[in-house]
Structure 1
């Protein structure tokens, strides 16, 4: 088991070493531009300028394969903190909706929405999920029905 865990972060695993390099490059971008970031869409064009001369250039470096790293590098720390606050409020609202859900269907929807958001956030540790329109569309479909006020039960049947 330990050898499997060691292989995950080992430099010989190409995909993992690229992602570690991308996190380092993202951190350097944030360090150089903490307030406003490097700007929207500029990570790819600036990526190689943040590499050491001996560092290999990944085949694809259009984004940093991590939501926090990408948002912080592109837009800076204030926008990153705002995005985290948004996610925290959304999680809170979903948990509240689950607590007040009365029917089995409502509980199912709130649990599904919470799981969808959890999956989106978890996937964002290894991929830039905000950069994929399909992921965003699916997240909106899963979460939006929970956040829209619904008429009381007696008004729905009429």
Structure 2
């Protein structure tokens, strides 16, 4: 780490230090425990609220938060008109997670803040990867598809996909010994992602990392793609078969995702404005299920169809607006930021959004709290650079 953390914290007030440490612990525990992570997140919210009222601080609204407010508003409408109000109301508490965006934007602005958060997260990913390798080798909690500390391979793959995009972007920035550290983390993330055997996340990682390369230095693709092909050719048969199943029209899960899409369209046609209500698709799925479908699913394995079906057209438009603004603002950081750290962080954010969207065509990854909070962090913190430049 190329700065003195003790001297850095020494220049902060007790309120800033407490909030910094609480948020750092939130970031650290994302790949380890959602319960502990959210405890520190809401403790950070509480500290922010108390100190803002105490010091009468003006709260600034980041540009990406406007579509989030719109999405939240229409989610509330969807809850009111839900087929099961109580279930939707309980699910809607997830909206509080969006407060991470103004929390970051109003309280952290230094490169050192986010370097500390990224280092904390990276050490947690090392622990998570070690757990994945232990699970794969059968040393502890043996699993065919590893889940790390998160309990489910889909959640693990979603978190590792985003971390891979962030770490890979960091390797392009660093020109010192820390570059080796980020390369090592990218490799760890790649391996643990492979061991989840989650095809949607594999595709997401491919598109996310490819986009980062294209935006940074397109010629690198001519090296990266042959390396990927060689990896597939010489990978274990289980990995190779799993990869080839992506293109198999007779694969049961491939067919079932088509059936889920049809069921989702049927739900949308009945509840187009406000959807069936948050977390209610699982309650009504059987009523709209295709006869050939094999499974009864808790969700529709597609972000766009799921949001449209359970929250309606207005919430979906708001969500797409949020994605568009997030890409646009991070692109502005990449083009105009004078600080390399924020410039390449924005590149990682654009790659992460791309990977998240591709993976989200086959999985409702926006429904995972771990994935959502990490995505919001990665998207938001580069935007602080624009705020800093505007004020300077």
**TM-score bin, normalised by smaller chain:** 0.7 to 0.9
In the alignment, structure 1 residue 55 sits paired with structure 2 residue 292: yes
Contact 2:276/2:309, CA 8 A, preserved across alignment: yes
Contact 2:343/2:382, CA 8 A, preserved across alignment: no
1:120: how far off? 1.3
**Distance across 2 between alignment mates of 1:7 and 1:139:** 25
Contact 2:259/2:293, CA 8 A, preserved across alignment: no
1:147: how far off? 2.0
Contact 2:260/2:289, CA 8 A, preserved across alignment: no
In the alignment, structure 1 residue 143 sits paired with structure 2 residue 382: no
CA deviation map 1:2-57 (0-9, x unaligned): xx9997362x31110111111000000001111111111110110011124x4334
Match of 1:76 among 312, 327, 332: 312
**Distance across 2 between alignment mates of 1:45 and 1:87:** 28
Match of 1:41 among 274, 279, 302: 279
Corresponding residue for 1:8? 247
1:92: how far off? 0.7
Q: Flag the structure with larger Rg.
A: 2
Residues 7 and 137 of structure 1, relative CA distance in 2, 3 Å threshold: closer
**Distance across 2 between alignment mates of 1:25 and 1:111:** 36
**Distance across 2 between alignment mates of 1:7 and 1:130:** 22
Corresponding residue for 2:260? 22
Cα root mean square deviation, aligned? 2.2
Contact 2:245/2:251, CA 8 A, preserved across alignment: no
TM-score by length of 1: 0.83
Contact 2:272/2:312, CA 8 A, preserved across alignment: yes
In the alignment, structure 1 residue 93 sits paired with structure 2 residue 93: no
In the alignment, structure 1 residue 110 sits paired with structure 2 residue 349: no
1:106: how far off? 2.3
